[in-house]
Amino acid sequence: MLTPKEAVAFAKENKAKMVDFKFVDLPGVWQHFTVPISEFEEESFEDGFGFDGSSIRGFQPIHASDMLIIPDPSTAVMEPFTKEPTLSLICNIVDPITKQSYSRDARYIAQKAESYLKSTGLADTAYIGPEAEFFIFDSVRYDQSSNQGFYHIDSDEGAWNSGREENPNLGYKPRYKEGYFPVPPTDSQQDIRTEMALTMEKIGIHVECQHHEVATAGQAEIDMKFAPLVKMADQLMWFKYIIKNVAHRNNKTATFMPKPLFEDNGSGMHLHLSLWKSDKPLFAGDRYGGMSEMALWAIGGILKHASALCAFTNPTTNSYRRLVPGFEAPINLAYSSRNRSASVRIPMYSASPKSKRFEFRTPDPSCNGYLAFSAVLMAALDGIQHRIDPGPPLDKDIYGLSPEELKNVPKAPGSLDEALNALKKDNEFLLKGDVFTQDVIDMWIDYKTNNEINPVRLRPVPHEFALYFDI
């Protein structure tokens, strides 16, 4: 980890001409501004740089808009996409008067989650491993006004283009739900995914594999090796940024929207969690699935708080186009080993204690990783602290169960509205250690309701015309 002095030296060694400062808004999208290298010195890591917090989503009102970014020297890397050599730094947000960390800074919340974990004495490290899926399209158009609304996605890989005049059309388009995972030429995006993976490795992200995913039209997955919570949340921001920019320079577009296509799989983000203490894994044991009692309690916490967690792990109205009963996403709140239809799965690839973790399969990649990872950790810790029994595992194919068998299996929320209502009722576990504050929870609910739920609720969608125009 670089010190301020080392970060300044690193910039000079790499002949940086500019310094780019990145920070995350409340919904989870990177913002940035850039200064010449002449404005960058060791004192920058203490004095920071000012910006208008009222122009950032979920931040300050206009009458208290002045805020500071404080660069984190340990995050220094050379920016992979600028023409001129540019140092890139991830920043924390502070109040310019008190110099206190900003309660709505999602990165600060993640840092507090790691500190709270250590303060419990239960563990000292939470390892997170997200599997964020995404789509690489060739074109997207969308618009909405008072009298019209549409979206149009296209992909050279799209199964719907099997009859298109392409002069010539060479076929080899993945069939619906059959994109996992054919070789080229059916998989036409091998090289662009490799370019993405190599760019990630260039800035220090450990990539484990890349492959085509289930859906037609360029659904993809690139897996990062697990890392501690804050580091992985930082990496997820880089992950999204790199994928979008590599797609853009190849004249394509990438999206982490959970459900952009009708009648094919959406994009999830299966989330692996394990706790360690003094370099020893704590989730390996002799209980079900080779797990420890602590691990099962942690699963109990996840299942108990799952509906509230969805407000952060599945935080868009579009998330619930994927979380639909009877389809591909796991909405039944149960756990199992190997069974991918359960919302919590215990992977059985390896018997090594170091590989023991569980996988929460409900989340999707539209989330703010800092908030989602922190919320999941807090739910797991609550399960351990209260020794919450997850109940018996469900080792059957949940999609094949009868309504009678399913009636006692809890379900994930069916809408963002439901998830936010669950968060209103169940948030005490998040407030422990001041990790989340009531202000952050209230702002999250208010922002999502007024900026996403209500605007979507007010607009007709195209299929409603097919259903109702002739009424």
Mark whether 42 is an active-site residue. no
Show the tokens assigned to 389.
């029994």
Catalytic residue, from 25, 114, 131, 382: name it: 131
User: In this structure, how many other beta carbons lie within 10 angstroms of the beta carbon of residue 18?
Assistant: 20
For this structure, is 221 an active site residue? yes
Long-range contacts of 422-430 (CB under 8 A, 24+ apart): 422/307, 422/308, 422/310, 422/311, 423/308, 423/311, 423/312, 425/308, 426/305, 426/307, 426/308, 427/308, 429/301, 429/305, 429/378, 429/379, 429/381, 429/382, 430/308, 430/375, 430/378
Which residues neighbour 328 within 8 Å (Cβ) at sequence distance 6 or greater?
Answer: 214, 265, 266, 322
Alpha helices by DSSP H, listed for 203-305, are 229-249, 293-304
Tokens of 49: 């740089």
Confirm if 255 and 133 have CB atoms less than 8 A apart.
Answer: no
Identify the active-site residue in 79, 359, 364, 382.
359
213 is catalytic: yes
Residue 361 among the catalytic residues: yes
366 and 236 Cβ atoms separated by less than 8 Å: no
Diameter of the chain measured on Cα atoms: 71
The residue count for the chain: 471
Known catalytic membership, residue 359: yes
Which residue is catalytic, options 107, 193, 270, 357?
A: 270
Per annotation, catalytic residue among 104, 107, 345, 361: 361
Options 32, 211, 321, 340, the catalytic residue: 340
Number of helical (H) and strand (E) elements in the chain, helices listed first: 15, 18
Report d(CA 390, CA 469) in Å as an integer: 48
Catalytic residue, candidates 72, 114, 221, 382: 221
Q: Which of 105, 133, 138, 264 is catalytic?
A: 133
Known catalytic membership, residue 133? yes
Active-site entry in 213, 223, 264, 382: 213
Token pair 């099997």 in the structure block, residue = 162
Q: Which residues are catalytic?
A: 52, 131, 133, 213, 221, 270, 340, 359, 361
